[in-house]
């Protein structure tokens, strides 16, 4: 129990909490889109390194898409479309501590590339989300934003017990936009030498710039110099062919488990751990 408390204490340190009052964000002038980290309604907590993260994955997206490492680290890899988004509040871990929102994202699975090939839906659990009692939305610096209809390639790792159950956090999601492949932030996946995939230029994508939370549209600003969609992004099928050839052919019994929004969630224990002894 003591070790669990310490782990949660360090995990909470990674939060970049965005406490956004929904009406004020929804009324933002579209001619001057709000940037998340510059909106007056936002309270920030400096992020820290996530407990349990692996150093080898910190360089997953440093210029080259390292599919081999991503495949090895993933419990489950699939292509799917977001069909449901649910927000659930946790119960306090201790007396006097607040409740924490969680987001459950359910995908309609189109193709399994690693794991149980018979699975037709996959529900992922992310810490953060909408608190309807306060009309505030909390997210973290490592959590993607999802919208109904999003189509993605997901590299899942540690579902139900990690802040973000994706390999390399945000980097474990590849967006499919009009048949082309992009990173979570909108950088194009491009073909390099030796048929490797490279992380290319930043693109202005509506799927990145806009997100809808509980019926309210949020906008994050782009640098005016960022162009529209580049023609260098590779076709989805090219990436899928590569993944099919590299992923294990036989289904594996992995650690993947569907998240269940009906299960009572205990919020993280934010009791400070004792300082290390000298």
Tell me the pLDDT tens digit for each residue of 105-141: 999 999 999 998 889 999 999 999 998 888 888 888 8
Alpha-carbon distance 230 to 204, whole Å?
A: 9
Q: Of 114, 191, 103, which Cα lies nearest the Cα of 144?
A: 103
Q: Is residue 150 part of a domain?
A: yes
Is 15 within a domain? no
Q: Please tell me the distance from the alpha carbon of residue 12 to that of residue 267, in angstroms, as a whole number.
A: 11
Kindly give the pairing relationship between strand 136-138 and strand 129-131. Answer: antiparallel
Look up the domain containing 135 and give its range. Answer: 53-246
**Total domains in the fold of the chain:** 1
- Which position has the token pair 């002038």? 29
Answer whether 197's CB lies under 8 Å from 65's CB. yes
Arithmetic mean of pLDDT, 194-205: 89
Question: Is the residue at 34 inside a domain?
Answer: no
Nearest CA among 107, 99, 103 for reference residue 87: 103
Residue 44, domain member (yes or no): no
- Report yes or no on 242 lying in a domain: yes
* 200: in domain: yes
CA 92 to chain centre: 24
What are the tens digits of pLDDT across the range 156-175?
Answer: 999 998 999 999 999 999 99
CA angle 160, 162, 164 (to 5 degrees): 100
Q: Is residue 193 one of the residues assigned to a domain?
A: yes
The answer, yes or no, to whether residue 239 has pLDDT greater than 90, is: yes
Please give the average per-residue pLDDT across 190-214, as a whole number: 89
> Given a cut of 60, is residue 7 above it in pLDDT?
no
d(CA 147, CA 25): 17
So what's the pLDDT on residue 251?
A: 56
Q: Which pTM value belongs to this model?
A: 0.76
Q: Which two tokens stand for residue 183?
A: 């990173």
Q: Is residue 81 part of a domain?
A: yes
- Give the integer Cα–Cα distance in Å for 128 and 138: 5
Q: Which of 21, 2, 253, 273 is nearest to 117 (CA)?
A: 253
DSSP 3-state assignment of 239? helix
> Which pLDDT value is given to residue 41?
34
**pLDDT at position 273, please?**
63
Split at pLDDT 50, 70, 90, the class of 36 is very low
In this predicted structure, the answer to whether residue 256 has a pLDDT above a threshold of 60 is yes
Would you call 231 helix, strand, or coil by DSSP?
Answer: coil
């Amino acid at each position: 129990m003591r070790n669990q408390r310490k782990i949660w204490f360090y995990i909470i340190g990674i939060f970049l909490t965005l406490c956004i009052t929904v009406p004020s964000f929804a009324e933002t002038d579209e001619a001057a889109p709000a940037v998340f980290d510059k909106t007056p309604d936002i309270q920030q907590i400096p992020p820290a390194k996530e407990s349990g993260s692996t150093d080898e994955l910190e360089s997953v997206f440093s210029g080259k898409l390292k599919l081999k490492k991503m495949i090895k680290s993933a419990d489950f890899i699939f292509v799917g479309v977001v069909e449901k988004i649910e927000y659930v509040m946790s119960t306090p871990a201790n007396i006097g501590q607040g409740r924490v929102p969680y987001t459950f994202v359910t995908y309609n699975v189109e193709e399994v590339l690693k794991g149980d090939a018979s699975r037709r839906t996959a529900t992922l659990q992310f810490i953060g989300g909408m608190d309807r009692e306060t009309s505030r939305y909390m997210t973290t610096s490592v959590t993607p934003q999802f919208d109904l209809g999003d189509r993605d390639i997901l590299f899942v790792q540690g579902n139900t017990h990690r802040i973000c159950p994706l390999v390399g956090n945000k980097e474990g999601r590849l967006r499919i936009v009009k048949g082309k492949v992009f990173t979570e932030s909108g950088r194009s996946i491009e073909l390099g030498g030796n048929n490797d995939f490279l992380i290319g230029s930043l693109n202005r994508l509506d799927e990145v710039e806009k997100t809808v939370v509980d019926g309210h549209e949020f906008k994050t600003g782009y640098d005016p110099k960022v162009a529209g969609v580049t023609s260098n992004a590779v076709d989805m099928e090219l990436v899928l062919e590569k993944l099919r050839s590299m992923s294990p052919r036989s289904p594996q019994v992995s650690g993947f488990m569907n998240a269940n929004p009906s299960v009572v969630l205990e919020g993280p224990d934010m009791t400070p751990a004792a300082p290390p002894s000298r």
